[in-house]
Amino acid sequence: MNRTEIGEPGPKGSLVRALLPLALATFAVGTDAFVMAGLLPAIAADLEVSVPAAGQLVTVFALTLAVAAPILSWLLSPLDRRKVLQLALIVFVAGNVVTALSPTYPIALSARILTAAGAATITATASSAAVAITPPERRGRAMALVIGGLTLSTALGMPLGNLIGGIDWRLTLWAVAALGVVAAIGISVALPKVVLPATSLMARLAPLRQPKVLSILVVTLLVMAGHYAVYTYIAAVTASATTGSFSQALTMILFVWGVGVLVGNFFAGHLVDKRPVLGVAVGALAGGTVLLAISPLTVGNLAIASIWAAIWGITDGMASVVQQHRLVTFAPASSPMLLGLNSSAIYFGVAIGGGLGGLAQEWLSVTLLGVPAAVLALLATTITVVEGREDPANASPKAAENRR
């Protein structure tokens, strides 16, 4: 990536120290985005609303994040990435503090919108900053580390957040706010100044006229919709395996899935630095398609379901890294805006997957949700194969760098 003004982090150890607070920031965002679902009964009782009404705290967060991510990424793209992250984390922390202090439901709902505005900026900005400070030959691993924070939130953040929330749901939000403060301090200390090349609005929007960029974003949306059509209802999908077992059987399945995603993140990060990205992308997407398709055969036994969840998680984690890497490689100068759009595709995909999964249960047994989900994943894989061959990001990392 061409850079106009970057305070280089120096040797490898300094680079890792600069990347870790970025990963902590995405960990805080991921925890905040998903942990609320497990706290809804307590929130509803405390704020004197129904559980479905409390669920709108999750919905408004996801929708605000999806809409705001590309807009804020574009508006803030000329600014120093460090300053943008500091500002976004201040908003994020303030939103969580206000939510934790909310005496009424309308205030809590407004606070979640504020929190999402900060969160929308953090993930895309953290990824673009990681790309900017990292040599091209290590870019995939750097992105995997930052995205790994988001992934780790599903494996550890959600269970820990729910554990804390068992005492008082407000304590969970105070804990997330504290994570945001620590991340802001780490970024202020360890992240160098990062100002991306000055480009016109038309230049930044130019990649959106490229079919390859649109196809990558569509693939992200489809694959997330497919995976979350099943993951949203994983408790019901695996009920036969967990019923009558130990009390934390579902937590174990969720945990091994999250660990699998984390492994997939880092595995893909290494692969895309060394091998053609198209092959890695097709492998991850095709693998996810197969895992979803065979899910009805695996979810009746706890041991088999756990193994299936771990491997499925690996394919999901690989896809996340590969899709972001393809966008950044295709149009490095527009990475803040493109990564913002990618965040929107992710969260819209999550929302669509949950909706389609619910509708599909009108016609299918919940254990068969993997079948329509696999169709979406197969469509994503097909688009990648058909459209991806002419994408510069499909070349080996060295060849792709030589083209720029």
Residue range 40-59, pLDDT digits in tens? 778 888 998 887 788 778 77
Model confidence over 95-120: pLDDT tens digits?
999 999 999 999 999 999 999 999 98
- The CB-based long-range contact list for 37-44 (8 Å cut-off, 24+ gap) reads 38/158, 38/161, 38/162, 38/165, 39/161, 39/162, 39/165, 39/169, 39/172, 42/165, 42/168, 42/169, 43/108, 43/169
Residue of 123, 27, 15, 26 lying closest to 66 (CA atoms): 123
Instruction: Give the per-residue pLDDT at 399.
Output: 46
| Mean pLDDT across 248-275 | 83
- DSSP three-state, residue 15: helix
Q: Which residues contact residue 285 at a Cβ distance below 8 angstroms, ignoring those fewer than 6 apart?
A: 219, 223, 315, 319, 377, 380, 381, 384
One-letter amino acid of 66: A
Cα atoms found within 13 Å of the Cα of residue 341, Cβ hemisphere only: 20
Which position has the higher pLDDT, 258 or 52?
A: 258
Under a CB-based contact definition with an 8 Å cutoff, are residues 392 and 276 in contact? no
Contact (CB, 8 A) for 230 and 357: yes
Of 370, 238, 391, the closest CA to residue 325 belongs to: 391
- Rounded Cα distance between 162 and 160, Å, is 5
Query: Domains plus CATH for the chain?
Result: 17-199 (1.20.1250.20), 205-391 (1.20.1250.20)
Q: Name which of 85, 357, 52, 110 is nearest 227 in CA terms.
A: 357
Under 8 Å between Cβ of 340 and 74: yes
Under the banding of pLDDT at 50, 70 and 90, the label for residue 145 is confident
Tokens of 384: 């990648």
Q: Which range has highest mean pLDDT (13-17, 62-66, 206-210, 311-315)?
A: 311-315
Sign, CA dihedral 101-105-108-114, equals negative
